Amino acid sequence: MTDPRRELLRRQFDLTWALFEYHLERLEPEDFLWEPAPLCWTLHRADDGTWVPDWSDTEPDPVPVPTIAWLTWHIGWWWSVTLDHVEGRPPRARTDVHWPGPGEPTIAWLRTLRTSWTAALDHLTDDSLDTPAPFPWPNDPSHSVADMLAWANAELMKNAAEAGQLRLLRGASA
């Protein structure tokens, strides 16, 4: 018999992705770097042409408002690292996850991550759900792979809602 958590986590992910896809389909390249407030976190072009995110190892106070660019980079970062853990690879450093740029390159990147994620979920066994997960809780063996998958779904829902709200605010302010 299949562990019912697998089906629940997959349905939760599919619902979350459908809500995110609603906004991805409507994003314009100009939406990504729009700054909704004076205090923002966004991405900046480095001299080599790559995009570099604003970042602090400690939570700033006040917390900067992220741009859609920053949010989509953030999704790509934590999702890539979570996939590394699920697939048994050494996890990438934050600085090794590069944002492709405004518009279609980022949308395609996120959709590719979705495809990789669903393939990884489909290959999990029922027993693997109870395996300890070191991410995003280092040094805490009480969290399982099932916990990590639920966290990833919640993180995607939060970031998708934030990106969607920013898209709506930019559209309403134009």
What is the tens place of the pLDDT at every residue in 153-168?
A: 999 999 999 999 999 9
Instruction: Please check the confidence at residue 1 and state whether its pLDDT lies above 70.
Output: no
Start-to-end CA span in the chain (Å): 54
pLDDT of residue 136: 86
Predicted TM-score (pTM) above 0.85: yes
Whether the ω angle into residue 29 lies within 30 degrees of 0, i.e. cis, is no
Residue pair 42/35 in contact (Cβ under 8 Å)? The answer is yes
pLDDT of residue 103: 97
Which CATH superfamily does the domain covering 4-27+64-173 fall into? dinb family like domain (1.20.120.450)
Q: Range with the lowest mean pLDDT among 111-115, 139-143, 144-148?
A: 139-143
Burial (CB < 10 A; 0-12, 13-18, 19+), residue 2, is exposed
Instruction: Please check the confidence at residue 129 and state whether its pLDDT lies above 70.
Output: yes
Task: Label the pairing between strands 65-66 and 51-53.
Answer: unpaired
Average pLDDT, the chain: 93
Tell me the average pLDDT across 55-68.
95
pLDDT of residue 70: 98
Tell me the average pLDDT across 29-55.
97
pLDDT of residue 69: 98
